Structure 1
Amino acid sequence: MALFYGPVRFREERADGTVIMKKVVFVVSGGELGDPVFFREQAVKAAPAAVICADGGARHLQAVGIVPALIVGDMDSLDSESQRYYEAMGCRIIRHPPQKDETDTELALREAFGMDPAEVWIWGALGHRLDHTLANLCLLVQGAKWGITVKLIDAWCEVFLINRRTVLEGEVGQTVSLLPFAGDAAGVTLTGFEYHLTKAVMEIGRPHGISNRLVEREGIIEVDSGCLLAVRYFRPGVFPGEGKG
């Protein structure tokens, strides 16, 4: 039996019963990558169509032996020796001036959108810099505008927005927090969770959806209007700072 101790790609089931795995692109930011072994395992499992680095995110890939297709940013966090190394390995580098409106991660995300993926998984977007983490959470909205699922992922959890009916495949006992994002969320129905809801209104500023849990291997989330910020922890009852389990 497969254990969902990691992010799960969305699937499309056709009328003839065949299942198509949705196209995914990885973006690696310069924050904390976490466990490099976990990242490499997920790269093998997900088989991304491309790996794009946001500037210093390229340093993370040197540790796991993966060469990105593209590095984007102002190159203030990647030394010239590393840049020459990646160019020699066939990696394309798009350099931007330091004085710009966009973060390097936003620039990398735009490049990912141009590859027409169904999903973009952003690694290294969570960490000690709260302001950078919040900025990366804001990037999830761009995915919603493009109709592309964007996830922030580390070795502990995945973070993404839900604005339509979504089925979460997972393990019984996994913690899933659901919080209204950028306004109230209405018509929220939760099935397969310890704390279920039916056509409820989740108000911004009232975090009542924290620390819910899956009681079935599929959790169904329905939202009529607004959107929810979802944080799903991979290992039941295991959180950062409490051991790896």
Structure 2
Amino acid sequence: MKVSIVLNGNLEKLNLNQTDYIIAVDGGANLLFKNNIFPNTIIGDLDSIDNKKLNFFKKNGVEILKFPQEKDETDCELAIKYAISKNASEIEILNFYGERLDMVLALFGLMKKYNVKIIAKTEKVDIGILRETYEMETKKGEMWSFIALCKARLSLSGFKYEFNGYMEFNNPIGISNITISNKIKIEVFEGEVIYFRWKINPL
């Protein structure tokens, strides 16, 4: 099951692709309301959602899960845990980018923590964690970046800069690689790596 988690970022417009379940994290419900999209669940401490919008969703049968402001998990982590409890096999994180860079970095930590496919998506880039072997179709000329969360050993095939060796967080040699084939292969033998797959090449 694919679960979409909508955070409280800076987007004004949201295009949801095919999904099975939608979780709004606190103020993420404001964006869904603006785009006439009904979530299945709203979760968080509810300090960012407009009360009128919250009451509207509540009256229309949306599940509301309220948590205290002082807690050990972020609202995003609560949403991920809830998605896993719903047997999610894939989780996409949307509207995650705003002024809180600390929250973005925390999201990368959550991707590492939970052993389920989690992809953070914008219109320009997909971000996820690599742990094993992946073969996938691509377009020539796509930009990819790889950042090791710790010391990681991996190989890259189908890229302009093929690689077979170790990457470390303090030596970012995996930035700005380019696909030269319609099919790539990524093998992670040790450790974990964050990937950035740019759908629109950044400047």
Rounded Cα–Cα distance in structure 1 between residues aligned with 2:114 and 2:179: 26
1:206 aligns with 2:177: no
* Contact 2:40 2:62 (C-alpha < 8 Å) held by counterparts: yes
Q: What residue is the counterpart of 1:166 in the other structure?
A: 134
The 3-state SS of whatever aligns with 2:166 is strand
Rounded Cα–Cα distance in structure 1 between residues aligned with 2:61 and 2:108: 31
Q: What residue is the counterpart of 1:89 in the other structure?
A: 60
1:153 aligns with 2:121: yes
1:184 aligns with 2:184: no
Opposite residue 210 of structure 1, the aligned amino acid is I
More strand by share: 2
Q: What residue is the counterpart of 2:11 in the other structure?
A: 33
List structure 1 runs of 4+ shifted beyond 2 angstroms: 167-170
Root-mean-square deviation (CA, aligned residues, Å) is 1.4
Rounded Cα–Cα distance in structure 2 between residues aligned with 1:219 and 1:127: 31
Opposite residue 28 of structure 1, the aligned amino acid is V
Q: What residue is the counterpart of 2:197 in the other structure?
A: 232
Matches for 1:1-245 after TM superposition, within 5 Å:
23-33=1-11, 36=13, 39-40=14-15, 43-44=16-17, 47-144=18-115, 148-181=116-149, 183-186=150-153, 188-198=154-164, 200-235=165-200, 237=201, 239=202
1:112 deviation in Å?
0.7
Q: Where does the alignment leave 5 or more consecutive residues of structure 1 unmatched?
A: 1-22
* Contact 1:33 1:154 (C-alpha < 8 Å) held by counterparts: no
The 3-state SS of whatever aligns with 2:190 is coil
1:201 deviation in Å?
1.1
* Contact 1:29 1:56 (C-alpha < 8 Å) held by counterparts: yes
Rounded Cα–Cα distance in structure 2 between residues aligned with 1:133 and 1:194: 29
Rounded Cα–Cα distance in structure 1 between residues aligned with 2:122 and 2:10: 8
Opposite residue 193 of structure 1, the aligned amino acid is F
Residue by residue, what CA displacement relative to the aligned partner does 1:121-155 show, whole Å, maximum 9, x if unpaired? Answer: 001212332111111111111333xxx11111111
- TM-score, normalized by length of structure 1? 0.79
Residue by residue, what CA displacement relative to the aligned partner does 1:207-234 show, whole Å, maximum 9, x if unpaired? Answer: 0000001111222100111011101110
How many correspondences in the alignment? 203
Identity %: 29
* Contact 1:161 1:228 (C-alpha < 8 Å) held by counterparts: yes
The 3-state SS of whatever aligns with 1:105 is helix
The 3-state SS of whatever aligns with 1:224 is strand
